[in-house]
Amino acid sequence: MEGSDILQTTAEVAIALTGFTGIVVALGVRGAPSLSGFALVRFKILLVASLAALAFSLLPIFWHYLGAPPSMTWVISSSIAAAFLVPIAVSDARSFRIYSAEIPEFERRAAPIIGVLGIALFVSQLANALVMQSFGPYLAVPLWFVGFSAFSFSRLLFTLQANSEDD
């Protein structure tokens, strides 16, 4: 199957990010207080993004082994990705609205950029499902979620480190 090595590597990175997140949150940074408020939202977003990266890395392999032809594999996978992006965007927007007073300035500035990139990803998946039906556009989905997970993981570490220095 086209791109299976890339998808498997992306799945491995997603598993690592999920595992490291659990370790960081469980152990904290030198006794930092538990997550609450926006830090908890950030953790949930990170967990969902890393698990989504894993799922979307393995999804085409699943269809391939069920015997779906390559073009149908990308149509189904891109359709599922586009459908998944909508409730995730709504949930994240709701969380940002609820915790708007707690959101650090950096995240406030990054949110519109992330939103525009998310919309572009959604449109690319619709186009791939309806017209292109190829591996390339689909690959953006697991890579997006791995990249977003890495970004969220670094922000989580930064927040925990800042909290431990305040104590």
Mean pLDDT, each 10-residue run in order, the chain (167 residues)? 84 90 69 69 88 95 93 96 96 91 88 93 97 95 94 79 60
pLDDT value of position 31: 55
C-alpha span between 101 and 7 (Å, rounded): 38
pLDDT value of position 137: 95
pLDDT value of position 156: 77
pLDDT value of position 43: 83
List the structure tokens of 115.
Answer: 């939103």
Degrees to nearest 5, angle at CA 151 with 149 and 155:
110
pTM: 0.86
pLDDT value of position 104: 85
- Three-state secondary-structure class, residue 33: coil
CA 46 from chain centre, in angstroms, equals 7
C-alpha span between 110 and 63 (Å, rounded): 35
pLDDT value of position 128: 97
pLDDT value of position 88: 94
